[in-house]
């Protein structure tokens, strides 16, 4: 075996397994705190969900309890030019959530109130006001929720921007290097990857839907559900949308990028799992999602959809994040399963790094031990 370290004997201060937004942000903040880090991924930087998600920076779809985190994340994304390094396209806009039926209007009021209580500046507006904010809206809207803190990122460039920043800050990156398991040699972790062995004093598991398998390296069973979200994009069209548009149920997310393409999502499910990745779309779900989009924004009638794809999203048993120390394993940490995780990811990474660096995290973490169950 080839030992990999700053020198062959010396261990890294931290090895981060999983180069999505969570892992990248944690690594950047640890490096900023003076630690020598290595970031390892079986694929590319932000090559999975972090590069394939809708890039929405919305409060309308964020779980109420996570609103304070998402607001911080929004601030970090909209100032990405200051801390990332790439041509990341970040757009701050208004966000609207729509109701077409009385039942949806009721849902909209309840949800807007819960999120407002958590700190999101959401107001209920009538259809006339909603159409002032977004002239492209359907005449059939009966009520809308408006949030001036919304926006989106072109997720496809996330990996490039993080990669450049990681290189700039001295984080070593190992792409295409699956970790097979982790052993311990006294106080040092030994990460086995092919015929390489990476030595580190701390380890951070940031593996998205693959977290369940990673935690099993330490003999822990923490069930992670895998959502398979479908997304679709149109070819370039003339400007038809200024804002991020969703619906009360959360099952629509629409935005138009500066290049004219319109991204259509909302969590309609495809087929896949951690082993195969996103295997296939469910055609009826794509048709339903596209019809809902066309219903909300009639000028989508001229659109042609050129591509649909799948991104895997992790969800714990209580649908809340898992961020903190790995129970029973000193110097091992875990981060992931955050609803609307792309939005709050940069902030979540900062919080975990604060804990690892021995500081008081700015907001409470999410103790993993509540989710560990006995092995089946």
Partner 1 sequence: MPEPFRAAAGAPDNPDQMLGARQREALLESQVERAFGRKVWSVTPGFRVDALGPEGPEHWRCRALIAATGTTERVVPFPGWTLPGVIGLGAATVLLKSQMVLPGSRTLVAGCGPLLVAVAVGVLKAGGSVAAVLDLSGPGDWLKSVPAMTAQPGLLLQGLRWLGAIRAAGVPVLSRRTIREVRPKGERLEVIVRPVDGERRPIPTGVETVFEADCVAVGHGLVPAIEVTRLLQARHEFLPQRGGWIAHRDALCRTTVEGLFAVGDSAGISGAAAAYLEGRIAGLTAALDLGRIDAERHRELSTPIAGRLRKAARFGAAMARLMALRPGQVEGVDGDTVVCRCEDVTRAEIEAALDRGACHVNQLKSWTRCGMGPCQGRMCGETAASLVAARVGGREHAGLWTARAPIRPIDLEALYGDLAYEDIPIPQEAPL
Residues that bind partner 1 (CB under 8 A): 44, 47, 51, 61, 63-64, 100-101, 107, 110-111, 114, 140, 156-157, 159-160, 163-164, 175-176, 234-236, 248-251, 267-269, 271, 279-288, 290-295, 300-309, 319, 339
Nearer to partner 1, 64 or 355 (CB): 64
DSSP 8-state code for residue 62: S
CA atoms within a 13 Å half-sphere pointing along the CA-CB vector of 362: 10
State the Cα–Cα distance between residues 237 and 255, nearest whole angstrom. Answer: 12
| CA–CA–CA angle 44, 48, 50 (5° rounding) | 100
Nearer to partner 1, 287 or 362 (CB): 287
Query: At 72, is the secondary structure helix, strand, or coil?
Result: helix
Minimal distance, residue 319 CB to partner 1, in Å: 5
Nearer to partner 1, 184 or 236 (CB): 236
Beta bridge partners of 267: none
Minimal distance, residue 339 CB to partner 1, in Å: 7
Tell how strand 225-234 and strand 37-40 pair up. Answer: unpaired
Nearer to partner 1, 83 or 295 (CB): 295
Minimal distance, residue 215 CB to partner 1, in Å: 23
Nearer to partner 1, 271 or 355 (CB): 271
Minimal distance, residue 75 CB to partner 1, in Å: 23
Minimal distance, residue 166 CB to partner 1, in Å: 11
Burial class from Cβ neighbours inside 10 Å (0-12, 13-18, 19+) for residue 315 reads middle
Tokens of 158: 């996330």
Pick the closest to residue 145 from 61, 259, 229, 210 (CA basis). Answer: 61
């Amino acid at each position: 075996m080839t030992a990999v370290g700053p020198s062959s004997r010396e261990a890294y201060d931290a090895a981060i397994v999983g180069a999505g937004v969570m892992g990248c942000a944690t690594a950047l903040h640890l490096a900023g705190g003076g630690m020598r880090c290595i970031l390892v991924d079986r694929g590319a930087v932000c090559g999975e969900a972090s590069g394939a998600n809708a890039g929405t920076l919305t409060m309308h779809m964020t779980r109420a309890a996570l609103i304070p985190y998402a607001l911080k994340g929004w601030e970090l994304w909209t100032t990405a030019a200051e801390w990332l390094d790439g041509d990341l396209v970040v757009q701050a806009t208004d966000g609207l959530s729509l109701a077409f039926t009385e039942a949806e209007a009721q849902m909209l009021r309840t949800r807007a109130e819960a999120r407002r209580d958590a700190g999101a500046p959401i107001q209920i507006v009538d259809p006339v006001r909603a159409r002032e904010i977004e002239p492209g809206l359907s005449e059939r809207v009966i009520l809308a929720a408006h949030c001036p803190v919304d926006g989106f990122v072109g997720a496809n460039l996330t990996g490039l921007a993080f990669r450049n920043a990681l290189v700039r800050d001295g984080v070593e990156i190992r792409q295409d290097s699956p970790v097979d398991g982790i052993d311990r040699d006294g106080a040092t972790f030994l990460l086995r990857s092919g015929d390489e062995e990476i030595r580190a004093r701390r380890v951070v598991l940031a593996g998205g839907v693959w977290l369940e398998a990673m935690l099993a390296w330490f003999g822990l069973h923490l069930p992670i559900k895998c959502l398979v979200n479908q997304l679709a994009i149109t070819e370039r069209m003339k400007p038809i949308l200024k804002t991020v548009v969703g619906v009360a149920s959360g099952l629509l997310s629409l935005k138009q990028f500066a290049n004219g393409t319109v991204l259509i999502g909302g969590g309609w499910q495809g087929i896949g799992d951690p082993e195969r990745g996103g295997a296939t779309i469910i055609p009826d779900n794509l048709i339903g999602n596209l019809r809902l989009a066309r219903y909300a924004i009639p000028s989508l009638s001229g659109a042609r959809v050129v591509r649909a794809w799948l991104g895997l999203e992790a969800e714990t048993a209580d649908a809340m994040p898992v961020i903190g120390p790995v129970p029973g394993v000193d110097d091992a940490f875990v981060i992931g399963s955050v609803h609307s995780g792309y939005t709050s990811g940069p902030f979540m990474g900062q919080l975990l790094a604060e804990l690892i660096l021995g500081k008081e995290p700015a907001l409470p973490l999410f103790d993993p031990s509540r989710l560990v169950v006995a092995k089946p």
